[in-house]
Each structure stands twice: as C-alpha cells, then as structure tokens.
Structure 1
Amino acid sequence: MSDSSAPPIEVEGLTKYYGDVRGAEDLTFTVERGDIFGFLGPNGAGKSTAIRVLLGLLAPTEGDAWLFGNDVTDRAELLEAKRRLGYLPSDVAFYDRVSGEEILDYFGRIRGDDRREELLERFPVPLERDVKAYSSGNRQKLAIVATFMHDPDLAIMDEPTAGLDPLVQNEFYEFLDERQAQGKTSFLSSHVLSEVRRICDRVGIIREGRLIALEEVGELLAESGTVVHVRLAEEPPLEALEFPGVSSIDRDGDAYHLVLSREYDALVDRLHEYTVEDLEVREASLEDVFMHFYGGEDENEDEDVPDGDVEPAATDGGG
C-alpha cells in the first residue's frame, strides 16, 4: 500500500529482455518527492522500456520497481499507485470519432477533473470537434489536459512536448515549475537537451539499456568543464595534445576539439608549442555532455522493442 514517506519512484536492479534483445539492464535509481527528473538517451537506449515497466505494462525480467512504495508487479498495489499518477505517452492516440470534450469527460469520470477548466485555459483545444480533425499540437494539448486534470502527485511523461510550438512548450515548462513548487513530482523521458537543461533538477543518462550517469544537471555540466576549439598552423597527431584533464579530443582538418576539466595552465603550456591561428574556449553545454556519452551514435535508431509493446492509449497509466 502507499507509504507517504516512500519516494514516488524507486528502481533497483531493473532488467528487461525481449528474448535475446536487451531493453533495460540493472537500472537502479530513485526519484524523490518534488523532483523534476530527466531520463535521457536516444531512441533505442531503453527509456520507453523502463517507463512501461514502471507503469505495469511490462513485467521485468529481473529486479524491482516501486511507485510510492507500491510494487509495480502487484496488481492491487499498482492500482493504488495509479490513483496518484498521470501518464503522458510519446505516441498520443485517442479514438478519432469522438470529440475532445467526450475524451475529457471519460477520463474525468474515471479519476477526477478538478483542474480541467484551468488547464484548458492554458492549453486550449477545440473541444467540440472530433479528435480526427485535430492537429498534432492539439492532440498533444488534449493529452496534457487529460494527464494533469486530476492533479496527480506524480507525472510520468515520454517526450511530452512533441508537436507543441515554442510558446506552448514554454507554458508547459512553467506549469511543471508550478507543480514542483507544490511538491509534485515529474519524470520525463527526453532527447531534447535544451528542454532538460531548462526544467530538470537531476538527470539519468541511459545507453544500451544501462544507466551510465545519474547526477544533478549543474554537477554534470561542471564536471564536463570546458570545450576548446583550436586551429593550428601545424598538424600534430591527437596524442600530442593530450594531457592530464583532457577527457576527449578529436580533429576535423586543421581544427582540434578538446573537452577538459578547466586545466587552463596545462592547455596554454601545450599550445605554446604550436602556432595558434584560431582559438575558442567556452563552458560545456548539455549537448557536449550528451555527445561525450553518445558520440558517433545514430539518434534516429529505432527503439529496440517489438511494436506490440507500444502503449496505444493516451493516459491509461493514470487510471
């Protein structure tokens, strides 16, 4: 049963295989009350697999997961947790031959709609029209209203701003900030790095089903330090520019790109040996951090799960 002191999300050794295909492996992390937690990784990394296990849509191969202290593999406990949950999937799908108002009426009867009118003012949609006539942006706004109108303590979201224009995206970010101020928790999967930097407190980075980083956003950026782009008259080999503090280095023609932990003196000493034609030094961005973990991988790779495991309904996780 729900424990008021339990974290909204707790995962320990969570593993999911589809036959011989790895979806997620040995994931361990905790999302505390009031967190806005970003779950990062390109398509195919295992983000959606982990979310489906949390929602009880998939059974884990090994490991455990809890929502508010409720075991997600126990049907009665999962139902108890879902009373406090809102779910916004990456592929929003509604019945096309019903109106937006009928959709919200349906979800409202299931779990409540205290914040419905307020949310419709912030994310307006043509309620009288059938959903088949909606643009992708209106479908996403309808899903946002359906997800949050019962004021859930925890929202689990998979690419929540897909299809939204920049103004609506900013409104959504402000809404999540307000939820956080009220002690509500948000967990979102995303590969939009500017979005993660804007709203998240902590991030988990997943690669090939494994969690490879779990840190506060600010700490992750601080550890990545400095990015240096330098063009030299000479053409030294990459190893000639390596020194303690350099975490990565590559070359494009006569331009060298280094990521280092603010070892400015060592950088100056090393560059003194060459003729510097151009030099740019800047603080690392979240994009730099991401490429450090994923450099060279195809972010458009398909998710490594069977199509039949994709959740079709917009907010089934909340009811």
Structure 2
Amino acid sequence: MNVISTRQLAKRYGKTTALRDLNLEVRQGEVYGLLGPNGAGKTTTLRLLIDVIRPTRGSITLFGEPMSPRLRGRIGYLPGELVLYDRLTGADYLRFCGALRDHADLGEATTLAKRLDLDLDRRTGELSKGNRQKLGLVQAFAHRPDLVILDEPASGLDPLAQREFHAYLREYIDGGGTALFSSHVLSEVEHVADRVGILLAGSLVVEDTVASLKANALRELTFTFAEEVAAATFSGIPGVQSAQANGQEVRCRVTGAVGELVRTAARFPLVNVTSHEPDLEDIFVHYTEERGDDD
C-alpha cells in the first residue's frame, strides 16, 4: 500500500517553478529520504503533502485519500524552521500541541524526550538549537502518528542524539509507521533510508534503494603495475567510462561489473589494486554535477 502518492504534482510561485510534475510514492513501512541542493523543491514538496500550501496542478493522496482533517491527525510533521513559544516550557508546548490534535496523552512524548536527553521543564526560549530540534521531533511523534514527514530532522543534533533518534525511528517503522524526510546529512540518509529520491531544480531525477544506487554508481579502480601500461588498454572494456595512466599506475572509472576490467589488468605484472566504493555523497554530487545544478 502507498501511504503517499503524488501525480504530476507541480508548484509555481509567479514565474518561478519550484516543483515540476512530481510522481512520488512512499510505501507503508518504509523510510524514504528526499535529497537535493538548496532550492531543489524538497521543502515545497513536504509543505504540499501536509496541505500548508496548495499545488498549481497535480494530485496528492495520503493513505489512498485526499487530505482531510481526519487524515491530519494521522500525520506528524517537523518543519525545517521550527517556531516555538519561548515563554512556554517544553511540556507546556507539547500539551498545547496535544490540545490542537485532541491528544492529551504525553506518554510517547515523555519517552522520546528521555531517550533524547531533553529536559521538558525548561522554557523553550532557553533551549539550544539542538534541544529545540529535539523538542520538534518529540512533538512530531507525540500522538503516535501513522506517517511522519520530517524536514531536516538531524539538523543541530549531536552525534549521540542522532544515533538515538535513528534507533527510535527504526523502532517506529518496525511498529508499522512510515517516514518521509528531507536531509542534507547524506550519511544519515544512507544509514536509515530504505529508498531515496534526488530532486534537482524541482524534478525527481533518480529514485532507488541506496544499495542499488551504489551498485550502479561510478566507482574508481586504481591498478599499480611493475611496468608502464597504456591507458588505452582499458578504454574499450564495457563499463569503463575513462582510463588515465600516470607512470605505472592506471586509474579507471567504471560502472557495473568489473570482472573483464580485472581480467585485463591481470594480463600485466600487477602489483596492487585499490577500489574506491561510492557512497551516497558521491552519487549525489555526480547527479548534481551532471545536471549542472548548484546550491
């Protein structure tokens, strides 16, 4: 079942196109990471999904239905720029949010606050950026939503808090929840996301599992030989995108299987081979540079 489904979703602000014909599906029980440079359309997408702004065209269904007040109660949301009432304590703020949702039980909120080492008795105006972010996360999960939509959830969190939140998120998913989040912390996405989508200039340019993206990404193999070997020896091999020689070293950039490349290298006096396996950051940069987009 798709918890989130969009069809030809587009948003324009005057002459500026923020989102172009987005077809996005997020399945029940998965963590979907949305990537993209600043201005790519990530926050616009999340705001459209929770009905804060309306699309120029296209459609959105959540749990198979259009957005409604009833569905809002099944969704937890963390905005990218969290606004708090500085005179309220964290507990007061959570009670206020609970009243808006008609959900007075703060049991889940208290549990998560303890796990994140967040003091709910302090006024929000006294909290650091990291603790304000923790409070935002706590309110998003406080009413035990079926879906959470999180804009940069790791922003401001220290490594220990990030680790604890990731563990909690996995427990939430294992319990039947679904999560869509945007992030600039690519290591976070690689660690917790089941699938990722990359938005560039308002368009979804690639969507796949992290494992599949890495398996098909451009990787680099460097061969060191006992004698000089011409780079042209490797240039015609399937999958090899480029080959450069520097003395007794040949550096090849390749996609897909590397068996034929390695067999070719083994015909020469091979001393050493090293491989740089791509991570999600490499993949993200590759797509961004390929499209000529920047921040």
**1:96 Cα deviation (Å)?**
1.8
Name the SS of the counterpart of 2:37 in structure 1. coil
TM-score (structure 1 length as normaliser): 0.79
Structure 1: runs of 5+ lacking an equivalent: 1-5, 302-319
Matched with 2:84 is 94
Percent identity at matched positions? 35
* C-alpha spacing 1:239/1:165, structure 2 compared with 1 (3 Å): farther
Find the aligned partners of 2:81 and 2:270 in 1 and give their Cα distance: 50
CA distance in 2, matches of 1:116, 1:291: 37
**Of 167, 173, 193, which residue of structure 2 is paired with 1:174?**
167
Q: Which sits farther off after the overlay, 203-212 or 159-168?
A: 203-212
**Matched letter for residue 115 of structure 1:** E
Q: Which has the higher contact order (CA 8 A, sep 6+)?
A: 1
Is the alpha carbon distance of 1:238 and 1:11 closer, same or farther for their aligned partners in structure 2, counting shifts above 3 Å?
Answer: farther
Residue 294 of structure 1 corresponds to 288
1:148 aligns with 2:153: no
Does residue 50 (structure 1) correspond to residue 45 (structure 2)? The answer is yes
Q: How does 1:39-78 map to 2 (within 5 A)?
A: 39-72=34-67, 77=68
Matched residue, 1:110 = 100
TM-score relative to the length of structure 2: 0.85
- Kindly report structure 1 stretches of 4+ aligned residues shifted beyond 6 Å: 231-240, 250-255, 270-273, 275-278, 296-300
Q: Does the aligned pair in 1 maintain the 2:91–2:120 contact within 8 Å?
A: yes
Question: Is 1:15 the equivalent of 2:10?
Answer: yes
Measured in 2, the distance between the counterparts of 1:28 and 1:276 equals 48
The answer to whether 1:218 aligns with 2:211 is yes
The count of corresponding residues between Structure 1 and Structure 2 is 289
**Which whole-Å CA distance do the structure 1 matches of 2:245 and 2:230 have between them?**
12
- The residue matched to 1:71 in structure 2 has which SS? coil
CA root-mean-square deviation: 3.0
- Measured in 2, the distance between the counterparts of 1:241 and 1:63 equals 45
Corresponding residue for 1:260? 255
1:113-152 alignment runs, 5 A limit? 113-152=106-145
Q: What corresponds to 1:187 in structure 2? A: 180
| Structure 1 residue 48 displacement after superposition | 1.0
Deviation of 1:221 (Å): 1.7
